[in-house]
C-alpha cells in the first residue's frame, strides 16, 4: 500500500471518530464545557475543578478539539502529498478549505452559545468532510470498469440526497434538544398530527430555546421539529431502500446494496429505540454513528454508479 493511500485511509478513519465524538459532545451536553476557544478557561489543558461533572465536560470538549486539530493536520499532509503526486488536488484542496470552515464553525458554536443553526451546520460540515474523504479514498484504488452500474445513478443519488436531508433534520432535532418532544410511538403524544408550530420550529436565525422574536420556544415548535424528523425517516427508508433494491439487481453492487439495506434498517431501529428507551446517551451516540455509516455506504454506491465501475472483480 502506498504511503499516500495509507494516509488518506488513516485520515478517513480519524474523520469518522471526530464526527462520532462530536455527536457525543453535543449529546452529553458538553458543548460549552469550555466556554472559550481555542483554550479551555484560558488553558490548553482543563484544570481541576471543584465540580467533577464540569471537569468531565471540559475534558470531553477539549478531547474533541484535540482530535479535530489532529484531523486538520492530517488533511494538510493529504493536500501537500496530492500536490506532489499530482492527483486529486482539487478534492484535497476542498477538504482543507472545509476543515478551516469547520474550525470557524466550532469557534462560533462556542462563542455564540450553541445557536442551533451553527450546531447543525457544524454537524453537516463534519459529514461533508467524511463523504469527501470516502470519495478520495476510493480514488486510490484500481477498480474494473462496468457500465452496467450506471443504470442505478438516479436511485442512489436520490438515496444520498434523502440521507443528507435526514442528517440535517436529525442535527436540528439535537441542536434544539427536541429528541424527546414526542415521547411515545408510533404517534406523538397519542396523535398522528399533534399541535405543531412549524414557523418557529424552523426559524433558522435565532438563539437556542427562543423564537426569532426572543420569546421562549413553545412546546409545539419542539414537537414540529421532532415530528418532521420522524416522518422523513419513513421517506428515507422508502427512497434509500428503493436505491438499495435497484442496486441489488446488479451483481457487482449486490454486497454494497445489502450493506446499505442493513445499515438503513439498523439506523431506523436505533431511532425507534432512542424514543422507546428515553434517549440513553450510548444509544443516541450510536444513532449518530449509524447515520455516518449509512452516509458512507450511500457515497460508495454513488461512486461506483457515477464512475461506471464495479467494486469486485
pLDDT of amino acid 312: 75
pLDDT digits (tens, 9 = 90+) for 78-108: 999 999 988 899 999 999 999 999 999 999 9
The pLDDT confidence band at residue 313, using thresholds 50, 70 and 90, is low
User: CA separation (Å) from 76 to 54, 72, 129?
Assistant: 33, 6, 13
DSSP run (H or E) holding 119: helix 116-138
Cβ–Cβ under 8 Å, residues 69 and 96: no
In the three-class reduction of DSSP (H, G, I as helix; E, B as strand; rest coil), residue 41 is classed as coil
pLDDT computed for residue 149 by the predictor: 97
3-state SS, residue 34: coil
Write the burial class of residue 262 (CB in 10 Å: 0-12 exposed, 13-18 middle, 19+ buried): middle
Please state the rounded mean pLDDT for residues 62-75.
97
Q: Which helix (H) or strand (E) holds 309?
A: strand 309-310
Q: Which residues are catalytic?
A: 61
- Let me know: does 281 contact 27? Beta carbons within 8 Å: yes
pLDDT in tens, 25-38: 999 999 999 999 99
> Mean of the per-residue pLDDT values for the chain?
96
Please report which confidence band the pLDDT of residue 210 belongs to, taking 50, 70 and 90 as the band edges: very high
* Contact present, 305 and 143 (Cβ < 8 Å): no
pLDDT of residue 1: 61
Burial class of 145 by CB neighbour count within 10 A (0 to 12, 13 to 18, 19+): exposed
Question: Are 126 and 102 spatial neighbours (Cβ–Cβ below 8 Å)?
Answer: yes
pLDDT tens-digit readout, 127-168: 999 999 999 999 999 999 999 999 999 999 999 999 999 999
Q: What percent of the chain has pLDDT over 90?
A: 95
Q: Which of 223, 215, 226 is nearest to 194 (CA)?
A: 223
Q: Render pLDDT for 242-297 as a digit per residue (tens, 0 to 9).
A: 999 999 999 999 999 999 999 999 999 999 999 999 999 999 999 999 999 999 99
Helix axes 52-85, 3-27, angle to 10 degrees: 150
Q: Is the pLDDT of residue 187 over 90?
A: yes
**By C-alpha distance, which of 236, 98, 62 is closest to 158?**
236
Contact in structure between 92 and 78 (CB atoms under 8 Å): yes
R_g (Cα) of the chain, nearest Å: 20
Give the cell for residue 302: 454513488
Concatenating the DSSP letter of every residue in 244-307 gives HHHHHTSGGGHHHHHHHHHHHHHHHHHHHHHHHTT--HHHHHHHHHHHHHHHHHHHHHHHHHHH
The secondary structure of residue 37, as a DSSP letter, is: S
Rounded to two decimals, the pTM is: 0.96
* pLDDT number for residue 87: 87
Is the pLDDT confidence value at 235 over 90? yes
41-60 pLDDT, tens digit each: 999 999 888 889 999 999 99
Q: Give bridge partners of residue 191 from the DSSP assignment.
A: 188
Q: What is the DSSP string of 142-202?
A: --EE-GGGGGGHHHHHHHHHHHHHHHHHHHHHHHTT-TTSS-SSSSBTTBSS----HHHHT
Angstrom CA distances, 73 to 15, 95, 100, 196, stand at: 12, 11, 11, 45
Amino acid at each position: 500500500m502506498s504511503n499516500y493511500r495509507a494516509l488518506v485511509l488513516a485520515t478517513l478513519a480519524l474523520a469518522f471518530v471526530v464526527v462520532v465524538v462530536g455527536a457525543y459532545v453535543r449529546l452529553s451536553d458538553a458543548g460549552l464545557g469550555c466556554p472559550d476557544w481555542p483554550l479551555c478557561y484560558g488553558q490548553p489543558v482543563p484544570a481541576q475543578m471543584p465540580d467533577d461533572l464540569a471537569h468531565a465536560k471540559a475534558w470531553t470538549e477539549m478531547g474533541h478539539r484535540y482530535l479535530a486539530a489532529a484531523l486538520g493536520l492530517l488533511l494538510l499532509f493529504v493536500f501537500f502529498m496530492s500536490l506532489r503526486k499530482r492527483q486529486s488536488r482539487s478534492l484535497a484542496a476542498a477538504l482543507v478549505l472545509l476543515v478551516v470552515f469547520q474550525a470557524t464553525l466550532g469557534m462560533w458554536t462556542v462563542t455564540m452559545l450553541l445557536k442551533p443553526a451553527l450546531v447543525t451546520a457544524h454537524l453537516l460540515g463534519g459529514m461533508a468532510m467524511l463523504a469527501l474523504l470516502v470519495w478520495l479514498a476510493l480514488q486510490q484504488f484500481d477498480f474494473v470498469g462496468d457500465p452496467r452500474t450506471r443504470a442505478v445513478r438516479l436511485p442512489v443519488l436520490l438515496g444520498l440526497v434523502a440521507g443528507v436531508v435526514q442528517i440535517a433534520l436529525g442535527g436540528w432535532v439535537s441542536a434544539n434538544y427536541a429528541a424527546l418532544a414526542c415521547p411515545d410511538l408510533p404517534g406523538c403524544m397519542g396523535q398522528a398530527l399533534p399541535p405543531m408550530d412549524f414557523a418557529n420550529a424552523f426559524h433558522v436565525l435565532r438563539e437556542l430555546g427562543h423564537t426569532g422574536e426572543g420569546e421562549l420556544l413553545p412546546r409545539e415548535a419542539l414537537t414540529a421539529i421532532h415530528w418532521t424528523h420522524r416522518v422523513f425517516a419513513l421517506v428515507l427508508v422508502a427512497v434509500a431502500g428503493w436505491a438499495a433494491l435497484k442496486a441489488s439487481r446488479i451483481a457487482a453492487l449486490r454486497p454494497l446494496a445489502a450493506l446499505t439495506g442493513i445499515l438503513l434498517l439498523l439506523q431506523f431501529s436505533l431511532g425507534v429505540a432512542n424514543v422507546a428507551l428515553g434517549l440513553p446517551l450510548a444509544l443516541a451516540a450510536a444513532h449518530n454513528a449509524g447515520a455516518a455509516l449509512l452516509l458512507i455506504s450511500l457515497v460508495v454506491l454513488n461512486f461506483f454508479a457515477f464512475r461506471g465501475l464495479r467494486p469486485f472483480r
